[in-house]
Amino acid sequence: MLDLREVDVHRGDIQVLWRVSLAAQEGKMTALLGSNGAGKTTLLSAITGLLRASKGTITLHGSRIETRPVHEIVEMGVSMVPEGRRLFPEMTVHENLELGAFARKARNQRQETMDLIFGIFPVLKGRRLQIAGTLSGGEQQMLTIARALMSRPRLLLLDELSWGLSPVATENIFETIKKINRTMGLAMLIVEQNVSMTLEMADYAYILENGRIVGEGRAGTLLESEQVKDAYLGIGDL
């Protein structure tokens, strides 16, 4: 459903991504692994349109999106949980969720979506009128995911969910993500530093190094591979 072919991306004069090809399937969780500065966030930004691909094509269920403006790409069903949360801190939980349903199609069904989401995150229901900036870190991360789901996405991009969270909170968030992936059947593309946890959950994974895809495969296979163990799991020599 999402298909990147030979995509180059620049930030200013500096080329960050070289000929990246990648796909994500409906109902599947695809992981993008790589160390800091490998270009993972840049890749997600290129999909949402916040950054432009300088070469190559990006296709979303059959139509080219690499030249469309961000708000149209969102309207087509792409939603993003950005790194560092990026909530609207001065607004209430309720207003943050409403803004998540800003896209025209989502706006009309925002009440039903909100009920659905309060089912997944009951904590948020109790805090509906609280100012988002005053929530705890874990609650803020839940709200970011909830806000992204409000647009009824078909493709959900998740950038560093474990950012600033305790191990317990991280585990909770990952559990929830797994549940959402199973029940809602949307495509997920997840970028994460926490490699072992991500590979246990994902179906397929790509490894990005210095702006290039250097490996890919089924998550279970990668979890066992020497290359991944060496570079990311820190257990290669054991």
Which spans of this chain sit near another protein (rule: CB under 8 A)?
Answer: 48, 50, 69-71, 74-75, 79-80, 82, 86-91, 95, 98-100, 102-104, 106-107, 147, 151
Choice between 18 and 88, CB closer to another protein:
88
Choice between 84 and 167, CB closer to another protein:
84
- CA nearest 192: which of 183, 201, 180, 181? 201
Query: Closest distance between another protein and the C-beta of residue 89, in Å?
Result: 7
Choice between 12 and 122, CB closer to another protein:
12
d(CA 198, CA 154): 20
Query: Closest distance between another protein and the C-beta of residue 83, in Å?
Result: 11
Tell me how far apart the 2 most distant CA atoms of the chain are, in Å: 55
Query: Closest distance between another protein and the C-beta of residue 11, in Å?
Result: 14
Sheet holding 2-11, edge to edge: 14-24, 2-11, 53-60, 63-64
Q: Which residues, other chains included, contact 13 with Cβ-Cβ below 8 Å and sequence gap of 6+? A: none
Query: Closest distance between another protein and the C-beta of residue 175, in Å?
Result: 25
Query: Closest distance between another protein and the C-beta of residue 72, in Å?
Result: 8
Choice between 87 and 177, CB closer to another protein:
87
Residue owning tokens 């870190």 = 137
Choice between 43 and 207, CB closer to another protein:
43
Query: Closest distance between another protein and the C-beta of residue 120, in Å?
Result: 19
Choice between 40 and 147, CB closer to another protein:
147
